[in-house]
Amino acid sequence: MPKTSRAPDFLLFLTVFMMLSIGLVMILSASEYSSLVHYNDSFYYFKRQLLWALIGLTAMFLVMNWDYWNWRRWALPMLAAAFVLLILVVIPGIGMEAYGARRWIGVGPVTFQPSEFIKLCLVVFTAYGLSRKGELVQNFTRGLLPFLVMLGAACGLILLQPDLGTAVTLAGTIFMMFFAAGARLSVLAGLGVVGLAGVGVAIAVAPYRLQRLFAFLDPWQDPQGSGFHIIQSLYALGSGGLFGTGLGQGKQKFLYLPAQHTDFIFAVVGEELGFIGAFLIICLFAVFVWRGLRIAVSAPDAFSSLMATGLTVGISLQAIINIGVVTGSMPVTGITLPFISFGGNSLVFSLIGVGILLNISKYATAK
């Protein structure tokens, strides 16, 4: 257990705060028209995101000053609670359905997304478990299999929602934690092949996923259907040029670009702030990865190192997938851009993850 501490990683905090600020501005710009049309309030989405940002920042500061060692005792109870919520969300009448998916539990005007909660819980649980295994991580049966069972159960429940993007992100995160813990490369290669095969099966058994895959390969085969999202996103990015059309001056957000304030907000950034604005966001995520992995490498013990790895990789993978989708480099998945996109649950749990990273950085051996 760490004894001495320093100031938390200021550069990591500054980077996240900059992305959060850019996100609030872009949500206001991207959602102003749709908010007015659907809710008769141009600031509807902005006000909600601002409230979630304040809640998330408060949680981040609380967690930043809560010794990361305490997460060990809560690892299993949190994971058990997350599984219960994941089961509840797929039960008709309890889980809320929207856009053909059942991913939320509603309590009055507030909705809760269990898949965001279990991402944090599984990272904490896996970090704790792997840190206790030590050299046994090189043994598949005694070292990795228990965590693979947990991961498989979580991904299976998430796929029932259905949400392939989140399942892939979670699996990729745990895979990288196995790598950081010292699992054998041959075992990781085998797991990678099995994982890719599983994604292929998940795509093949769902017609709408096959349509998205074909749209990714050639969106112009169905420009008004499955290819519509990608085409409109590319229109927005192409219209921005180097410096953009100007903040608030984009046209694709006027109900042309779907999910303009959530999944495809990066396209609005590219249109209004141009290549410069989009590249700035990519650079900020690169700094986030650098500082997060630096914290992981210099962490005082295996538990904190693996937890920092999982938190950094999880947020980074989500950003890579989102930007890949928006730029037409990956099939559409429904993954939001961390700290930038509208979404209260994702934002709060991402900021809690940052709070844990900042707390670990206080005990890191290098700055």
Instruction: Give the pLDDT mean for 247-263.
Output: 87
Burial 307-332 (b: 16+ CB within 10 A, else e): bbbbbbbbbbbbbbbbbebbbbebbb
Residues in a beta bridge with 96: 104
Read off the pLDDT of residues 93-146 as tens digits, 9 standing for 90 and up: 777 777 667 788 876 667 788 899 999 999 999 999 999 988 888 888 888 999
Lowest pLDDT segment from 43-57, 74-88, 243-257, 280-294:
243-257
Q: What is the pLDDT of residues 70-105, one digit of tens each?
A: 999 999 999 999 999 999 888 877 777 776 677 888
At CA 308, angle to CA 80 and CA 162, rounded to 5?
Answer: 45
Cα angle 230, 234, 240; round to 5 = 150
* CA–CA separation, 53 and 163 (whole Å): 24
pLDDT of residue 92: 77
Share of the chain above pLDDT 70, in %: 97
Q: Report CA 307 to chain centroid distance, whole Å.
A: 16
E strands of 216-286, at which residues?
none
Share of residues in the chain with pLDDT > 90 (%): 61
Using the predicted structure, report yes or no on whether residue 16 has a pLDDT greater than 70.
yes
Lookup: tokens for 260: 């303009």
Neighbour count for residue 293 (Cβ, 10 Å): 16
Phi, psi for residue 225 in degrees, rounded to 5: -120, -110
Q: Which two tokens stand for residue 183?
A: 């699992």
pLDDT over 80 at 279, yes or no: yes
Q: What does the pLDDT read at residue 145?
A: 93
Residue 101, Cβ neighbours under 10 Å: how many? 13
Q: What is the pLDDT of residues 305-331, one digit of tens each?
A: 999 999 999 999 999 999 999 998 888
pLDDT of residue 99: 66
Tell me the residue length of the chain. Answer: 367
Q: What is the pLDDT of residue 3?
A: 54
List the domain boundaries for the chain. Answer: 10-361
The rounded mean pLDDT for the chain is 90
Give the Cα separation of 78 and 147 in Å (integer). Answer: 15
